[in-house]
Chain A
Amino acid sequence: MPVPRPEEKKPYTALYRRWRPQLFSQVVGQEHVTRTLQNALAGGRVAHAYLFCGLRGTGKTTMAKLLAKALNCLEGVNQEPCNRCRSCLEIVEGRNMDVLEIDAASNRGIDEIRDLREKARYAAAQNRYKVYIIDEVHMLTNEAFNALLKTLEEPPPKVVFILATTEAYKLPLTVVSRCQRFDFHLLEVGEIAGFLRDVSSEMDFAVAEETLYLLARLAEGSMRDALGFLEQCRAFGGEKISYGEALEILGLTAPETVFNLLRAVVEEDIAGGLSAIQETVHQGRDLYRFIRELILYLRKLVVLQARGDEEESLKDVPGLKPYLLKQRDKFTNAVLLEMLEILQQLTYQLKGSSQPQFLLELAFLRLVRAYRFRNYLSPGALLSRLEELEAKLQSAGLEGLAGRRLPPAGAALEVKGEELNLNGENLTPGRTEAPSQLEAALEKESQEVSLHTLEEKEVTFGNSGVKAPGAAEAAPGIDPGRLQEFWDKQLLPEIKKQRKFSIHALLQEGCPISCQEGIFTISFPSTHGIHKGRIESKEHRRYIESLLEQLLGTRMHLKVILQENEKGAGIGEEGGKKTNSTVKDSEEKKGDDFFIRQMLELFNGQLIETGGESLDSRDFWSFSFEEIDHEPQEDEEVPF
């Protein structure tokens, strides 16, 4: 039975093979290579060994074939091969006797190279030069490389070696130094798009400009990839393809979806964001590519902000441009970088995950949190919100409330419905029922906050009876007289002994105040807010507390205060000798603190002594950072 065959005109070859440049002038990019080679050809100064390296699809093999043709063209060695003579045609078809294309990855042993060496001694049969094109040369074994060295250094006359590889670093230096090395660059998006335009118009394939740029961008600098994408589009579309169809066939998400997801981040529209993700999954889009698109989008926003010049920074992403311009002012640089980091992490996690959708959803929550944290809780933003709040309080006639300590508005991280709206409409001064509503909202928030702290600090397990550290009863303290001695002779040396130098250095700046009722109080000079913050970090605090427990035999709760006034310094004095730094600091009046001075100016207020640290501004910061920046992590321990 005869096998039916479809009417064939001529065998179909892939675009990237059909469009392999046949002239040096047709090569896209890589001018540094073409010019050098052409000048060498024209001047008759052709080297005996070349090394072409560069990433996939940048034109190494193409250039090697071009060089072989130019060297052997029957019309003489010129800057361009003629492509008409017998020799040129034979080389194009890969059947020239004297141009040997060797696949080094398949023939990688020393035997094959020995064979090559033997044959290289014979002169070219029909042509001027014998050309060895050794592709994927990085796969040769070490022995094979070494066997090649002598031939490569002093080849027989009229033999030219062209080595091509994607991984030049794998070659022995002895090989590299015997060759003229050319590094092929990644192609630019514009260059690729231009070439794709030529190809598609030649094929009568209608593709819009922005689609071409999309394909070029996806190719990441490789012409072969770009032509592959074009071929894929053609296989799907036939005679024309739209931007949407191209996105679909390449498994990409529409820019709207990316835009919508980021809009959801900005507006904290969790439901909207989750729906966007769900929709992407339902459409069967590749989530990995989706993340890549998100990353690209955010990166473009960074570039846009840094350069400011929209034409120049967005020229290779025409499809995204309108969306990017709409969102260019929504993100600060810090947010963008943090979001990029989260997404970058996600790309690693996605590999091999059975539930990529969940991962993306969780990452989305992190994005919202990052955005919220950076935008609402940066000092500047907080300050302006405080001002706003104050103004509203005053206009609502609520002076009584103004004195209360307000929890940071973002502290309640349950991003749910109404709770978000502290800065929203239920605070509008026009309403008559504002006071009670506001009060309720505040109450609710502070409850939430306390709930959170409770969860963090005092999770009890069943009825095991472990109590919160603060509640330790009637723990024996150290009397104030011996406190300094304990500090100098026991605690600090012990820390040093355990090689916790950073903690030691931090603590050296402070002095102990008291050790009573299960609370060990340390004071730092008012300028040492950073020290206080560091000591109060979870890890350090836990370490010091456990050390105290070891030394004193009871559980101690660490309390760190800043010495804001003479009174604070006075307590330090009671403890015995004063360190140099505290003397100096106590001389600095409170008004000298730049931060406080600014605050006083800004709020037109005055300093009131409160005696405690409850109004300590730094306490407030450290609290908010702890609560908001908190990511639930596997390795994290919450004390019982």
Chain B
Amino acid sequence: MIQPSSQVLVRSEIKVGFEEIIGQDLVLESLKRTIKSGEIGHAYLFSGPAGSGKKTLALLFAQALNCRNDLKNPCQQCLSCRKILSGNHPDLYIIKPQGASLKIGQLREVKDSLYLLAVEGRKKICIIYDAELLTLPAANSLLKILEEPPQDLVFILLTARLWDLPPTVVSRCTHFTLTPLPGEKMKQILGKYDFSLPEEREIIIALAGGNPGKGLEMASRGGWENKYKEAFLLVKSIEDGPAEDIFLKAEEFSRRDDLQEFLELLLLIYRDRLVLKLSSQENVLINSLIQPDNKGRVESSASTGKILVKEEDQKNTFFLEKICRALMQLQGELHHNINLRLAMEVLFLKMRGAV
């Protein structure tokens, strides 16, 4: 399965102060105020999906707590800021999962040094990546130090799956949720990319679901306009084309390595069709590539390369809803060991209305 790796982008994005971070206004506001007032808590928890900017924020916060020039906003110039950025600040401890989990041994290793005073900076910072991967013993062994850590120690826990974290851990931290960015902010973030067609940006924004990391990663790969068109044509050919093609197509698609994304594109199409059928309001559409006229029909304009759907959707809401569910289920199942070709055949037959 393709996991968008946002590592590289995070690194390039990090060289900013608080001002340059786009979105997450509430969290930023709180953190800035915290730093300004000096009322710094001892444990913070940032939660949000992968790519939402947790690491960026955590490192920025760590820099701000230790910056030598500016007490409020990291300068990115001083030794401390640069050391934190390159990961060799003596007071910065970053704990990452070893293999599939964060083990109690890893915590034991650092715990002793955590009780020492800060060497260079004002605060010792311990950042724990993917905190949901803490094993149960590890999480429990963290509880005492997390509740009453030595002076000058600040924990920052990051997690993409808050619900997998024991409530005893969550309850000891000041918790900030990184929320999906609205479309406007995503546009801003993607602003520096030059898209051949404006629609491509729309598709990326729709697929990224307000997740800047995912959006940037997608933008760096490009080609989304064509993929979307391909998905659209596939839907058309399955619904109206010859029945035999279904099985050929199923085989073809089951071998694609971007299947997960492709399913997401299909979901986008079906979801928009469903919504269009139900409300005919443009503002709830996720993808502006499909544009309804005032009667709720979908019109096209060839000039901007918009997709051609002239007549009113013949499928009823039940059908569209069923396909949406089927797509979501299949997306979940892709992580398991399933017979891809069979799964695609079933999906396409469902789309055809045969099953």
Contact = CB atoms under 8 A, between A and B. Distances in A.
A139 B174 contact: no
Given A354-B264, A362-B321, A251 B179 contact: yes
Contacts of B177: 251, 286
A359 B179 contact: no
B181 A462 contact: no
B317 A414 contact: yes
Given A1-B68, A14-B41, A103-B144, A638 B317 contact: no
A205 to B, nearest CB: 12
B209 A13 contact: no
A41 interface: no
B307 to A, nearest CB: 20
A467 to B, nearest CB: 15
B236 interface: no
B33 A274 contact: no
A497 B136 CA distance: 51
Interface stretch (B95-103, B216-224, B249-257, B280-288): B280-288
Interface string B102-141: 0000001001000000001110000000000000010011
Interface of B: 23, 26, 29-31, 33-34, 37-43, 49, 68, 71, 108, 111, 120-122, 137, 140-145, 147-148, 151-152, 161, 163, 167-168, 171-177, 179-183, 209-210, 242-243, 264, 267, 271, 274-275, 277-281, 283-284, 286, 316-319, 321-322, 324-326, 328-329, 331-332, 352-355
Given A6-B38, A12-B39, A354-B264, A249 B30 contact: yes
A106 B143 CA distance: 9
Contact of A413 (B121, B137, B286, B318): B318
A231 to B, nearest CB: 6
A12 B325 contact: no
A101 B144 CA distance: 10
A577 to B, nearest CB: 44
A498 interface: no
9 contacts: A7-B38, A103-B144, A106-B144, A136-B140, A139-B140, A228-B171, A281-B182, A355-B328, A462-B354
B321 A281 contact: no
Given A106-B111, A236-B29, A461-B354, A358 B328 contact: yes
A271 interface: yes
B209 A357 contact: yes
A14 B42 contact: yes
A416 B161 contact: no
A353 B328 contact: yes
Interface string A281-314: 1111110000000000000000000000000000
A274 B279 contact: yes
Given A224-B172, A284-B179, A414-B316, A106 B38 contact: no
A576 interface: no
A282 B201 CA distance: 17
Contacts of A5: 122
A355 B68 contact: no
A4 B161 CA distance: 37
Given A355-B271, A634-B326, 6 more contacts: A14-B42, A136-B144, A271-B284, A275-B279, A275-B284, A413-B317
A377 B237 CA distance: 39
Contacts of A359: 328
B153 to A, nearest CB: 11
A184 B283 CA distance: 50
A94 B145 CA distance: 13
B321 A278 contact: no
B180 A351 contact: no
A352 B161 contact: yes
Contacts of A632: 318-319, 321-322, 325
A211 interface: no
Q: Considering residues B42, B120, B283, B284, which has the most beta carbons from chain A within 10 angstroms of its beta carbon? A: B284
A1 to B, nearest CB: 7
